[in-house]
Amino acid sequence: RGRGCGAEGGCGAPVWPDSFVHRLQYVPVRGDHIIGIVTAKAGDVFKVDVGGSEQASLSYLAFEGATKRNRPNVQVGDLIYGRFLIANKDMEPELVCIDSSGRSSGMGLIGQDGFLFKVSLGLIRKLLAPKCEIIQELSQLYPFELVLGMNGRIWVKAKTVQQTLIIVNILEACEYMTAEQRKQALARLSG
């Protein structure tokens, strides 16, 4: 099992081993934005499951506007969108929900409702690519909100449960569907 590493060739073009496309197990990488599930509160620190080999720690001060008196309202079982501050093989991974300037920039607690599910890491990369057809086609269907974590987790929230589940099923099926099959499925939905 290899680690998520890409090497740059001499001409500056990134090169990466393609075996990581179908990978499911996530390896924490510093700077990656991920969706985590709070599993425990241990004093001043939350334990967060990120889908890696060990749990990550998240300090309650690592939220925007958090002080010792003004603690964030995070409970066990909540979803967190954060990024790795420390992620190497020698230390316990550490998450934060603020960027380097102290602002949240979209990180923190993910709201109530919605649906969380897991996909392969290669699909996440495909979905996060600049001009992803899947995302563009889905965005035409109905209003919804989407959070993509580099650890293979996706959170979807739409107005109704049915709409949410439709989006979830399409995203899960994108792993093995071809573009034509996807367009047919979407045509059936909107038609």
Partner 1 sequence: FMQRGLDSQTKKQLEEEEKKIISEEHWYLDLPDLKEKESFIIEERSFMPCEDLLYGRMSFKGFNPEVEKLMIQMNSGCKEEEIEVDDKMEADVSDEEMARRQVIFYVIINIRYETLVGTIGKKFLRKRDQSVLQDEDEDGNNNTRPSKKAKKKFLKPQD
How many Cβ atoms from other residues are within 10 Å of residue 24's Cβ? 11
10 binds partner 1 (CB under 8 A): yes
Which residue in 78, 125, 182, 186 binds partner 1 (CB under 8 A)?
125
- Residue 7 as a binder of partner 1 (CB under 8 A): the answer is yes
Amino acid identity of residue 125, one-letter, is R
Which one of the spans 43-51, 53-61, 147-155, 183-191 is the region binding partner 1 (CB under 8 A)? Answer: 147-155
Stretch that binds partner 1, among 43-51, 63-71, 124-132, 170-178 (CB under 8 A): 124-132
Provide the angle, in degrees to the nearest 10, between the axes of the packed helices 179-190 and 161-173: 170
Choose the stretch contacting partner 1; rule: CB under 8 A; options: 48-56, 70-78, 132-140, 174-182.
132-140
β-strand pairing of 56-59 with 45-49: antiparallel
- Which of 1, 3, 68, 69 is in the footprint of partner 1 by CB under 8 A? 3
The only residue of 157, 164, 170, 174 in contact with partner 1, by rule CB under 8 A: 157
Which of 157, 156, 175, 149 shows the shortest CA–CA distance to 52? 149
Token reading at 50: 């990120």
Which of 1, 3, 4, 8 minimizes the C-alpha distance to 125?
4
How many angstroms separate the Cα of 44 from the Cα of each of 53, 85, 98?
22, 17, 17
Does 134 engage in binding with partner 1 (CB under 8 A)?
no
Among 6, 43, 77, 191, which residue interacts with partner 1 (rule: CB under 8 A)?
A: 6
Q: Is 50 in the site for partner 1 (CB under 8 A)?
A: no
CB 5 within 8 A of CB 14: no
State which residue, 4 or 37, has the beta carbon closest to partner 1: 4
Amino acid in the structure at residue 92: E
115 binds partner 1 (CB under 8 A): no
Binding site for partner 1 (CB under 8 A): 3-10, 14, 16, 29-33, 81, 105-106, 125, 128-130, 135, 138-139, 142-150, 157-159
